[in-house]
Chain A
Amino acid sequence: EVQLVESGGGLVQPGGSLRLSCAASGFTFKSYNMKWVRQAPGKGLEWISYISSSGTTIYYADSVKGRFTISRDNAQNSLYLEMNSLRDEDTAVYYCVRGGNYYVYWGQGTLVTVSS
């Protein structure tokens, strides 16, 4: 069974940093592209970052470019999102998602709250 389990969310002050992790199991992690998608409270879905299966190709949404860094450890079956210079508008549930284009498998999400 495919499982994606996010962790690392929490309350952080504006300007602060946080690192999200996603533990993958039930499939050959190193063979799949991965993404982070977020959802602000009561709002829609927003793709924010993509990493290819090998980690060599990375994309970011303009809203997070220069502040967030996606990475992966294929030996540990893990995906990461390093978030710096956090803003109020980064408050959201962050989902780890398998796949390049459309998404069958989602994690349960981890809530990041940016507030003073």
Chain B
Amino acid sequence: EIVMTQSPATLSVSPGEGATLSCRASQSVSSSLAWYQQKPGQAPRLLIYGASTRATGVPARFSGTGSGTEFTLTISSLQSEDFAIYYCQQYNNWPPWTFGQGTRVEIK
């Protein structure tokens, strides 16, 4: 089973600032990596797939990079609606399809 590890657990950011979230896989997942955003009481929303492709309707301030075992989600200028929990998920080696434990982005 591939273990996904996200860091940091919590990121405190001021609105308008940028944020960088990391996700590491215990073995290579190539570019088979997705990022999700989840707000309280809501289902997750797909942001990025293929490590760097934005899903339909996702603003350009969200970008994903990386391949192999190291991945990054960057939010260039945080808006109020971006404060949420972010999860990475690998889909290269399955089953199981595995998620990271999440990074909470909170208002500083």
B-contacting residues of A (Cβ < 8 Å)?
A: 35, 44-47, 50, 59-62, 95, 100-104, 106-109
A-contacting residues of B (Cβ < 8 Å)?
A: 32, 34, 36, 43-44, 46, 49, 55-56, 87, 89, 91, 94-102
Q: CA A62 – CA B98 in complex, angstroms? A: 12
A45 and B96 in contact (CB under 8 A), knowing A107-B43, A108-B43? no
Q: CA A45 – CA B44 in complex, angstroms? A: 9
Whether the Cβ atoms of A104 and B55 lie closer than 8 Å is yes
Among the interface residues A35, A62, A103, A108, which one has the most CB atoms of the partner chain B within 10 A?
Answer: A103
Residues in chain A near residue B98, CB distance under 8 A: 47
Q: How far is the CB of A79 from chain B (nearest CB, A)?
A: 15
Which secondary structure dominates chain B's binding surface? loop
Q: CA A67 – CA B98 in complex, angstroms? A: 20
Residues in chain B near residue A109, CB distance under 8 A: 43
A102 and B95 in contact (CB under 8 A), knowing A44-B100, A44-B102, A95-B43? no
Whether the Cβ atoms of A104 and B87 lie closer than 8 Å is no
Q: CA A13 – CA B97 in complex, angstroms? A: 29
Whether the Cβ atoms of A101 and B99 lie closer than 8 Å is no
Whether the Cβ atoms of B44 and A103 lie closer than 8 Å is yes
| Minimum CB distance partner of B45 in chain A | A106
Residues in chain A near residue B87, CB distance under 8 A: 44-45
Whether the Cβ atoms of B44 and A106 lie closer than 8 Å is yes
Residues in chain A near residue B89, CB distance under 8 A: 45, 102
Q: What 17 additional pairs, Cβ within 8 angstroms, besides A44-B102, A47-B97, A102-B46?
A: A35-B97, A45-B36, A45-B87, A45-B89, A45-B99, A45-B102, A47-B99, A50-B95, A50-B97, A60-B95, A61-B96, A62-B96, A101-B34, A102-B89, A103-B36, A104-B56, A109-B43
Q: How far is the CB of B44 from chain A (nearest CB, A)?
A: 6
